[in-house]
Structure 1
Amino acid sequence: MRLFRYLAKEVLVSTIGVTLILLLVILSGRISSYLGRIAEGKMTFEFLFVILAYHIPSFVQMILPLAFFLSLLLAFGRLYIENEMSVLFSSGISKVKLAAYTLGIAFIISAVSATISFWVAPASEYRAAEASQAQNQLSAYDFLIPGRFEGSGQRTTYIENFTQVDGWMENIFISDVTRSNGNNIPTQVLAAYAEQIRISAEGNQNYLVFKNGTRYEGHPGSAEYRITHFDTYAVRMANQSISTIDEAFTKTTLALITSSDQLDKVELQWRISLVVMIPILAIIGLSLSQVNPRQGRFFKMLPAILLMILYIALLIWGRTGLEKGKLPMQLGLWWIHGVFALIAAALFLQYNQIFARRKARLPNHTDSDEPSL
């Protein structure tokens, strides 16, 4: 049991570290993408941290098998380089028992992965979809920055400030173009204050209400140029439709099990695959982690990583094929796991020197059976 705790500590600590590093890499890429949307006025800065927090479980469920596999190679490779594995084998620890300890560690990671894949990630993705819909309901005026012109050309908006008490837009200027009789007519609105209101009686219709201002319409110098002074002027704003959140990745695992939809079945197989692949990768990693001090701990990492990449690539390809109907649902993703389970078994047999032992036990038929004189 002490040996299992020692090995588990080595692998699990490395897994946590690799997971955090890979997670930071993914988050940095997403942050740069979201910052571009913030600069374009398509999302608020506060929403950046909300949406990233909701997506973290989905990132972790993809990272965890990779992090565990790399950590297993690094941890066991170090034990081989520092001759700790030689001490274990000379103390009576067989490679079969070492494989049992490795699978025990893999089952711990699998339990964590199952919890994230089956419960945490779907619930988090559903919340992310809800937050995205709420963000889409915001108008362009919710993204205005005081003292800065927003837009381009004749479609420009400017506000001087927000009132501290009510949060009204103060000293607002809006330049726009309206279409009338096939012609583009420029309009400008100057107002002391403006606010957005929602009228529930009209189906949650949004209005932008201006106070104490002037509206200019038409081309300056033309006979049809109009100037309108108003105390209150309301403009109806376009509403974003709210759609039902029914994507497969946002559904609970129980809903996927009871569903007959093809995409739901594929999503269920994908979630199971992220858990099933962990013990298979554990045996592959154990078998390819054996190196001698002269080779270095990274000698077998390249073929091991290529094998892992092939495994994940086949799963992604299989998922895409199932979603598009190019692969039969009865075949699913199980054949990919079966192939790599056989690869893992073959590598472990070679690692445990099964073939070498059988070859050594075979009689040497090249020697002459005739008695010597």
Structure 2
Amino acid sequence: MSKIGLEELPPAKSGARRRVLITGVTSTLGRQLAERLMYDKKVDCVMGVAMDDTPYYFEDFDQRRFVYKKVNILKSRELTNLFLSDEFKSREIDTVVHLAFHHRPEFNNEKVHQLNVEGTKNLLDRCLETGTIRKFVFKSSALVYKIRPHNPIRLRENDDLNFDVDAHPIVKDMVDAEMLCRAKMDNKSMQIVILRPSATIGRNVTTFYNSFLESSVCLQIAGFNPMVNLVHSRDVVRAVQLGIHKNTQGIFNIGGKETAPVSDFVKLSGAVQLSVPGFALKPITRMLRLAGLSKFDPSTDMERLRFSCLLDTDKASKVLGYEPQHHIKFS
């Protein structure tokens, strides 16, 4: 198993080694995080859960420190059995990282909504009821921000979220899941960390701009060329790792090294670049998807192709000690 980004973290204030449960561990970010934590000397063990059968790639992990369980967090009995299991109790799990969140806009049905919102609620409630979980980390996204032409140049964590009734269901789910987490922040027994990465880029990562820049043909709205910040998936994983170890809670914007007009990134990606009227973007994109030339769905938030959404990351830098380390490489 290759070592990924194994630079030392700042010393933990509490000296205790973390025992981490990761939901959605079979996702790209989940797999990267599990691998990274295997090399983290401040992590004693990792338990990964997802709805899939045990993937082959976890066979390379040290089985003394890693265990995988097939669990559907929507099923109350399965979740209860997980927290009551010998594997969970014997490892004395004290940290939960919640990555079991569906981001693909084409699958915005009721089952996806249940996973994203009810799954988050079920997990939060169970963590608090257990009484042994000290840290809960939820990876959200900058998609939660309301995009407007008069927004500040860089959005801070307390800027407006997208509560529009006509917002895309995935955006609504993410905002709802955040609200569930924020509602529990007053509890004294468990610290809650919410991370809002900007446009995450990485192989097999489903995000707005990752799907856009992986297209063979990239459509831009005529007259608009917003500034975009891209963050490497490995930087997002490092931010989660910092969130696990730091003795703090709160909401943190997570940015990357690269910021430029979106047209610059399209050129670097090697895609064909076309400008179209705003009203034509969705139908033409639909045809490109049918032709196999694009996986992009602009319906998640078309305003992001018009207006910039850059994040103020000072809080993450000062409190978590987070700084982006990976450049985006286009093949």
Q: TM-score if structure 2 supplies the norm length? A: 0.28
Question: Is the helix fraction higher in 1 or 2?
Answer: 1
Q: TM-score if structure 1 supplies the norm length? A: 0.25
The structure having more radius of gyration, on CA atoms, is 1
